[in-house]
Structure 1
């Protein structure tokens, strides 16, 4: 195992992961606030300060373990969920779905922004600066932005799986008739078990990878 390579890759991916999961959660709270729920704002969660969002296991331990175990091929993490009170919404089911969609939508926007900075800033800039700056500054930034695209697309795709408590489950409930939505809601206590089974058996890939390929294909057209 090349520990130097692992440390280098962690340094490159740590910032994009942190930005991706923090803005994902802030987006949930911000959209909810705009729709009438001030819970996240009152609890100080509409901030970019990472300390307010870091979950020791989901933000630090799990991404590191996944990185080492998969040799950098798959990294996933999460921040502390932003609290949302649906009773503050005018239309709880619809507004919960919109708030849930805010997280993955933000990740896709971050992936697009990363591609734009890569194509129209970093790569052109490399032609006008010295080789020393390219090696020490441009190349690390290019690697971080490239990692940002992959991380944000995977995070958005994973969260869009139509299973509670993931965002995709919340969005699905907002579109289904009330009876069917309530039936899905009763499965939420078992949601994490279902997700773990899907991930461990590889079945999650059949849901996530088509979304990853779709998003990457659309972003590549920019």
Structure 2
């Protein structure tokens, strides 16, 4: 069975704990920022909460563990309630990935503090390392400019309305192409180079900020 898992059985408990935190905070961040801009849709549907039960999609979480690709329950957003739809839309979209990057930064800070304190606990180091890697990957991955990711939603709000209408018209095809890129060997040519390059860039920034602790 371990052969079919994206993570080893030994790491599975750490992965599950990390995904619960990462997915929950990601979706809560979307809901909270939408709420701040006047959209109470997510709150009315019980999504303005830090309870994992409100945000986790059982199949999406399981698939991520098995195949390395999954999802949480999307937060409902109604742009009608935004006074500045484009600005609010961008900030709502960014909020989810940004929360994961913040978690990755906190994890890296904890790692350095543990290292400086000479903590002797291999299991804890492994958990923190996975916590950093998974949150960093989720944060960067969701900022990629492909539908239905958050990065694509940002682009929708940056382009002129006429262009946005055309993007919406062909979005279903974009999702189909994206799925092909993710679940076929093409991911090694397109997705992973983008993902790894962006993750290294973000990690370098984090390390420069935390340089005094190294």
Q: What TM-score comes out, normalization by structure 2 length?
A: 0.86
Match in the other structure for 1:69: none
Give me the whole-angstrom Cα distance separating, in 1, the residues matched to 2:203 and 2:13. 24
In structure 1, how many angstroms separate the alpha carbons of the residues matched to 2:109 and 2:69?
23
Partner of 2:200: 213
Describe how 1:90-101 pairs up with structure 2 within 5 A.
90-101=83-94
Matches within 5 A, 1:66-215: 66=67, 75-120=68-113, 122-127=114-119, 134=120, 138-199=121-182, 200=184, 201-202=186-187, 203-215=190-202
3-state DSSP of counterpart to 1:62: helix
8 Å contact 1:164–1:185 — kept in the other structure? Answer: no
CA distance in 2, matches of 1:2, 1:62: 14
The Cα of 1:124 is off from its aligned counterpart by 3.6
8 Å Cα contact 1:16/1:145 also seen in 2: no
Question: What is the rounded CA distance, in whole Å, between the counterparts of 1:178 and 1:206 in structure 2?
Answer: 31
* 1:190 Cα deviation after fit: 2.4
Gap runs ≥5 in structure 1: 67-74, 128-133
Cα contact 1:76–1:155 (8 A) shared by 2: no
Aligned pairs (5 A) from 1:16-35? 16-35=18-37
**Alignment length, in residue pairs?**
202
Structure 2: unaligned runs, 5 residues or longer: none
**Take 1:2 and 1:96, find their aligned partners in 2: how far apart are those partners?**
41
1:2-34 Cα offsets, whole Å, 9 max, x none, are 68x932111122111221111111100011001
Cα RMSD between the aligned structures?
A: 1.9
